[in-house]
Amino acid sequence: ARRLASDAAAVRVVEVGPRDGLQNEPSVVPAEAKAEFINRLASSGLKYIEASSFVSPKAVPQLADAAEVLSLVQRHPSVTLAALTPNVKGLERALAAGVDEVAVFGAASETFSQRNIACSIEESLERFRPVCEAAVAAGVPVRGYVSCVMGCPYEGPIPPHAVSSVVRALLAMGCREVSLGDTVGVGTAGHTRRLLRRLAADGVGPAALAAHFHDTYGQALANVAVALEEGVAVVDAAASGLGGCPYAPGASGNVATEDVVYMLEGLGVDTGVDLEALMDAA
């Protein structure tokens, strides 16, 4: 039987609910409630929480209070609080708010890139370069995201080579890891394996990657299991399966953190997360 990457090591669960989940809520959640949500998630043992996004308040009004939320959260030395920073201005605001890590987000689909961040893939990469340089200069690690790695709501299936070129560009500019986002949840176990093997063939090993699956067609846990088999040891998830994407029609929520932790526990994999406390937070 194929061995999981996690046979010899723990899997790191990246909680994206406070950002990727709440950005899609129809109404704005108060800053105090967001901070309490983050505090509860941290208390469950989650060590990496994506707290918010320093994007334009006009683009995502649900996250306009990012700085306030971070000021209200109880900080723990063992918990990394991260935020999305699409440009240098966003990075400056995030650093002022005291984030531990930042993230830039691109796409493998030209149309989605235009709809989501109003520029081409190439333009987005040029925009991210100074963000990465400034973050690294400030001693803050940068995570990269690539959306629509298996399919796009506008273009349909996305070929693995298109994903690979964006992933390699993000790593080359200083991202410490890149999260592969199946934004509309159309991927299957077969898609996942083919993509990861193409990336490996192109010189991008699993240690540089994270898995980020949405559960639109109920395939997310199967995709996570395949990613683990292929050596990926970082999994993004959202408490209660929160999420979607304002710019991806038809996308449903992220894979639920509690489902991922339950599956990993069943495989004998250590996540460091107390499932009962996580259920309380969700």
Give residue-wise pLDDT tens across range 156-196: 999 999 999 999 999 999 999 999 999 999 999 999 999 99
Query: What is the pLDDT of the chain when averaged over all its residues?
Result: 92
> What is the spatial distance between Cα 111 and Cα 121, in angstroms, rounded to a whole number?
9
β-pair partners for 214: 254
Instruction: Give the CA distances from residue 111 to residues 107, 155, 181, 215, in Å, rounded to whole numbers and listed in that order.
Output: 9, 7, 16, 22
Check residue 241 and give left, alpha or beta (phi > 0: left; psi -120 to 50: alpha): left
Is the distance from CB of 199 to CB of 142 less than 8 angstroms? no
Q: What is the pLDDT of residues 64-89, one digit of tens each?
A: 999 999 999 999 999 999 999 999 99
State residue 214's pLDDT score.
94
More confident residue, 6 or 139: 139
- For residue 73, the model assigns a pLDDT of 98
Against a cut of 0.95, is the pTM above it? no
Q: How many CA atoms lie within 13 A of 44 on its CB side?
A: 27
Q: How far is CA 282 from the centre of its chain?
A: 18
Q: What is the mean pLDDT of residues 255-282?
A: 94
pLDDT of residue 100: 98
Closest CA to 125 of 164, 158, 167, 97: 167
Give phi and psi for 36, each to the nearest 5: -65, -40
Token pair, residue 211, equals 């898995």
Strands 156-157 and 151-152: antiparallel
**Residues classed as catalytic:** 245
H/E segment holding residue 93: helix 88-96
